A and B are shown apart, each in its own frame.
Chain A
Amino acid sequence: MEEKQPTVHLRFFGIDRMLPFLSRYKKELLLMVLLALAGTVTDVCVPVLQRYALNHFIALKTLDTLPVFILLYLGSFVFAGVMNYISCTLATEIEVWLDRDMRNKAFEHLQTLSFSYFNQNSVGYIHARVMSDTAKLGTLFSWSLIEGVWHGAYLVGAVAVMLVINLKLALLMLLILPVVALLFSFFQKRMIKVNRQVREINSRITGNFNEGITGARTIKSLVIEEKIEEDFRKDTAAIRKKSVGSARLRGLFAATTAFASSLALAILLWRGGVIAESDIGTFSLFMSYAQGLMEPLRWLVDVISDLITGQVNIERYTRLLSTQSDVRDTEEVISRYGDSFSPIRENWEPVRGDIELQDVSFRYPDGEETVLEHFSLKIPFGTNLAIVGQTGAGKSSLANLICRFYEPTSGRVLIDGRDARERSQLWLHSAIGCVLQTPHLFSGTVRDNLLYGNPNATEAQIQQAIRMVSAEGVIARLEKGLDTDVGEGGDLLSTGEKQLISFARAILADPKILILDEATASVDTITEQKIQSAIEAVIQNRTSVVIAHRLSTIRNADWILVVENGKICEQGTHTELMAKRGVYYRYYIRQYEDEATGAVLNG
């Protein structure tokens, strides 16, 4: 759904906040404005040339200066053509360059923001900041600007010519302009409001279609087709009503423009008709301007309203850029280890893979409950730690802390005996691998995805990784093997296949520390077995933190943490915990029953 657009008032319309982006194209912007001004000269001059034609050729009945006239006339059009060609090209270039710069900047900034930002803002919201706000702003500072120049310059030029040629007549005709401008801005305000409503209803209709299609079976089964349709028709009726309302406003706009032109013409005829006899050229010139002044005025109002509504985009976009990550490396750390984009790898100590939590308390920045309280745990290299518990019990908190996706509210996380904050995030992340419950692949080929964690892997290493997770079958099935496109989000592969690929990806990255979020989704028995052996392969020789669901994974773990209601309630080895007959025992038995039942049923 489209979010509501509040009106925002910024100093200087927020243009000062855009200066860092605009200043790169100072020269281009200046040139664009100057050329647009030059191009407008022709538009202003055409009526003057026509006046000459009437007053010289027709009134004096001579064609003596015709060649010069033609040359001048053609010349001014060619001149305008060249000016417009360059300035329009510049406008588009500035537009897309600004888009590009703003998007790059936003994208880069997003790579440094912490997870609490992503938890508090939906993907759709952030996406709109990167793609739509930038597009709006790009247009504002190129096309809206050039249009403002064109129409503003035409207005000024035409008015000036009129004033010079016939002051009294000009003043009389110009009286209409302020009235019309006021009317325009009045309509414009309503127009913005109505259009916003139309967009809102429109996104509701899209939502309705979505629901009607994805929920078709439920709708059929409940036999509520008619009710759903009735509600749908309410929305389509509402959008029709609003669209007609918007058309009324547009109609009023056009009517005002047209009537104002005619009014100017009537004034001209009434007060200036006498001129027509002696000075037909001047009459014709005023006639042209009378017809030509109202359109630019309307566009000018349009540009101003763009500037006003554009403030929202400026505000939202710059707010994204000024959002600070709450997990940040200190200046000293950055100067020694580099930042996320330009690491100083030669200063990086090799990672051993010892982890220790010292008296850690943790609360999510946007949460109220304390997830961990004075929790200490040593996870020496090679340990296989399993975290178990009901879904939604907060099992990933610990993994998030170890990855430094979040920092503890108090206490320390030590990596190889030193506080994680003493080294850069990238240093730690370079030693971490991650396999998620819903495997996330990027669009591109299978190979691209495998190389994601280690772009320098050799062909032999790739083949070995594939063998280790028994994904040879998956690759063989694909038409172009490793070079097959996986589609957006890996959609061309099944969930089980995606999982195997993501295991191979983790193995290729060869991380010292592995975070693994086991999937609960049911896959067929053969894939299940493959995944099982892939997990065993992938956790060898590393420190691993597994959010576990499978019995075998849990049983084989060196240490088990049991989470209930967001808190760690039990910990120990499998045998210890079973003997306790507590939460773990119940969880394990239940899990066992489910797994064994599934095994019996699925043969």
Chain B
Amino acid sequence: MKEKQQKKQIHKRNRALLFRFLKGSKALYLVSILSAGFTALADMAEPQVIRMAIDNALGGIEAHYAKPVMAVVDALGGFAYLGRHIWIMAAAILIIALLRVFSQYTFRVSNTMASETLVKTMRDQLFSHIERLPYAWHMKNHTGDIIQRCTSDVDTLRNFVSEQLTSVFRIVVLVVLTLSFMLAMNLRLTLISFLPMPVIIGYSLVFHRKVGEGFLACDENEGKLSDMVQENLTGMRVVRAFAAERREKDRFEAQNAYYTGLWVKLAKVLSLYWSSQDVLSGVQGLLVVVFGASFCIRGEMTSGEYVAFLAYNTMLIWPVRMLGRMITEMSKAGVSIGRIAEIMEAPEETDSPGAFEPPLDGDICFEHVSFAYENGPEILHDVSFTMKAGSTLGIIAGTGMGKSTLMLLLDRMMDLPEENGRITIGGVDIRQIKSAWLRKNIGFVMQEPFLFSRTIAENIAIASPSAGQDEVRSASRAACLDEAVSAFSKGYDTFVGERGVTLSGGQKQRAAIARTLLSHTPIMIFDDSLSAVDTETDAKIRAELESRFGTASIILISHRITTLSRADQILVLDNGRISQQGTHEELIHQKGVYRDIYEIQSGLREEAV
């Protein structure tokens, strides 16, 4: 019972989401549905004209049609006249055909516009939503899984809204219209014609549901085969060095043979289905031909009606055969929308009510900050320190000792719970500051910076859209990147990630530094971001920082004493606690980790040699 309710709720949620995406394409869908209906109507008209031509115009049978039809016929001069001027009826067919072609074209285009608009809305909303989900969500979810949902699940849905949704409607309209036109001509033959339909649809439904598993197994095994190629190519050195060519080949051939075998098995099932459906449709056609003929002989039907009936019957059979497949495919869409809904449901980052945009050039203050990740042990324990505005703070700590977490909290990538202390800038709790404003004012260079697949110039200027070429270059020069970029044949227009051009780790770091320098933020964080550049470049960049940003507050995280030594204040973090705090001069005169490292790095210890 509970499960049922849950299922109902999920269905409701999925439908609500679909309706949300549907906004903006409803009118287009309406147009496409109307034109589909009109097309089906025109489909019906053609055999009727032929029938009239055979029976009434040429055959001279007295006509009994609906009044409007008779009115048109009379306006054209009556059936006898039309019989003598049969070209008029041929022209009528062409006119109907033109109308039909037009409405069919309208259907196709409006249907695509509608579904593509829906897909665009869906992708746009999904993307925006993902960008606005908190960083904690991104940490928790696998990148591969999210990307899969954004691509293949979106594709499944796209298929659904562009192909199946309206097709099912079209098929139903066609069946209903055909049925009514057939009924108007001959009740008994209609019944005979529809008799095998449930069997055809049912067979198709059962089959497609069953064969779905077969396809799934094939897909999975094709995936395995494809992974094998991938693994072999990426591990080619290992393969060769262990002389495992033969075994790789055998392994691949075995999997390839297995996969092929699955398809051969499936091929028999599929072919059996196709051909038996053909025979079944043939039998249905035979029923109509034979019974229709006998009705004609008994005078229950005219030959014109018979010909028209045969035409309708041909129109009917394909859509009916498609129906089973459509319905099965539709169930896939339900799964996909559910997977997308799971992303859309996650709450976006929000600012607390009354959050504002204060100037951020004041002192930065950590007060009794403790922090643990979800379900994890406490990483920071009661950390307190004050950093004067415009000063430089150095932090040194081992791996996993909490330094990065400290910075994530300052940038509000992670939210500090109320009871775990507070962080203030200029006396304002950062929880009261709009997060976008806070981040805009904090320049953050990470250890492994992320560059976008754009040109180097675009990457540097990505957060400063108004920056001109000169400013980009000057920031790049300050980050000691200019020389390296100038050596590329396309210079600043070099595409990051372009084939053949790969930026080294150090170059990437420097590009990220240039990006941050260009945004002139009052607070700057360098999280081990000079680790991949050599000592001299490191010194040059730091000198540049000092001369350019006398007023900015700078936080440097590093293992290098030379990097840290000029900071106004240095913190040593040990297992989430501040173990030492002071200037370089003070710290080297204290017994502790800092002095040990200082001695190691200034060659004061002999054990190295």
Contacts and interface: CB of A to CB of B under 8 A. Distances in A.
Contact of B263 (A92, A248, A455): A92
B264 interface: yes
Interface stretch (A118-126, A409-417, A466-474): A118-126
Contacts of A602: 398-399, 401
A252 B399 contact: no
Interface in B110-161: 111-113, 116-117, 119-120, 123-124, 127-128, 130-133, 135, 138, 143, 146-147, 150-151
Interface residues of B, number: 145
A411 B444 CA distance: 52
B131 A111 contact: no
Interface stretch (B176-184, B380-388, B446-454, B478-486): B446-454
A450 B186 CA distance: 76
A350 interface: no
Contacts of B551: none
A501 interface: no
Contacts of A61: 297
B98 interface: yes
A72 to B, nearest CB: 10
B446 A218 contact: yes
Q: At the interface, is chain A mostly helix, strand, loop or mixed?
A: helix
Interface in B275-311: 275-276, 278-279, 282-283, 285-286, 289-290, 292-294, 296-297, 303, 306-307, 310-311
A252 B108 CA distance: 9
A555 B104 CA distance: 80
Interface stretch (B46-54, B321-329, B350-358, B362-370): B46-54
Interface string B389-409: 000000011110100000000
A597 B264 contact: no
Contacts of A62: 297
B297 A601 contact: no
B109 A440 contact: no
A453 B231 contact: no
A88 B267 contact: yes
B249 interface: yes
B112 A222 contact: no
Given A103-B256, A236-B123, A403-B240, A341 B246 contact: yes
B267 A205 contact: no
Contacts of B547: none
Contacts of A246: 112
A21 interface: no
Contacts of B233: 110, 118, 123, 126-127
A210 B450 CA distance: 12
A582 interface: no
A212 B127 contact: yes
B545 interface: no
B303 A107 contact: no
Interface in A79-112: 80-82, 84-86, 88-89, 92-93, 95-97, 99-100, 103-104, 107-108, 110-112
A522 interface: yes
A426 interface: yes
Interface in A101-152: 103-104, 107-108, 110-112, 115, 118, 122-123, 126-127, 130-131
B450 A488 contact: no
Contacts of B127: 208-209, 212, 229, 232
Contacts of A99: 260
Interface residues of A, number: 151
B504 interface: yes
Contacts of A401: none
Contacts of B310: 50, 284, 288
Given A223-B436, A273-B89, A229 B307 contact: no
A597 B600 CA distance: 7
B286 A73 contact: yes
A46 B285 contact: yes
Given A54-B306, A96-B260, A453-B242, A107 B249 contact: yes
Contact of B237 (A58, A267, A343, A405): A405
B279 A598 contact: no
B64 interface: no
B237 A274 contact: no
B231 A115 contact: no
A255 B104 contact: yes
A122 B233 CA distance: 9
* Centre residue among B109, B241, B272, B276 by max chain A CB count within 10 A: B241
Contacts of A210: 147
Contacts of A522: 399
Contacts of A405: 237, 240
Given A77-B282, A92-B263, A429-B240, A276 B138 contact: no
B439 A122 contact: no
Interface string A412-452: 00000000000001100110111010001011000000001
Contacts of A291: 311, 314
A223 B439 contact: yes
A92 to B, nearest CB: 3
B93 A266 contact: yes
B59 interface: yes
Interface in B461-512: 462-463, 465, 499, 504-505
A594 B310 CA distance: 87
Contacts of B260: 96-97, 99-100
B600 A593 contact: yes
B63 interface: no
A216 B130 contact: yes
A425 B100 CA distance: 70
A277 interface: yes
Given A110-B233, A222-B515, A259-B98, A81 B279 contact: yes
Contacts of A111: 232, 239, 245, 248-249
The 8 closest A-B pairs by CB, nearest first: A77-B282, A262-B97, A92-B267, A434-B241, A247-B112, A601-B398, A270-B90, A88-B271
26 contacts: A54-B303, A74-B282, A77-B279, A81-B279, A107-B232, A111-B248, A111-B249, A221-B411, A221-B444, A223-B439, A233-B124, A240-B119, A248-B108, A248-B109, A255-B102, A258-B104, A270-B89, A273-B58, A273-B86, A287-B307, A341-B246, A432-B243, A443-B228, A452-B238, A578-B609, A598-B559
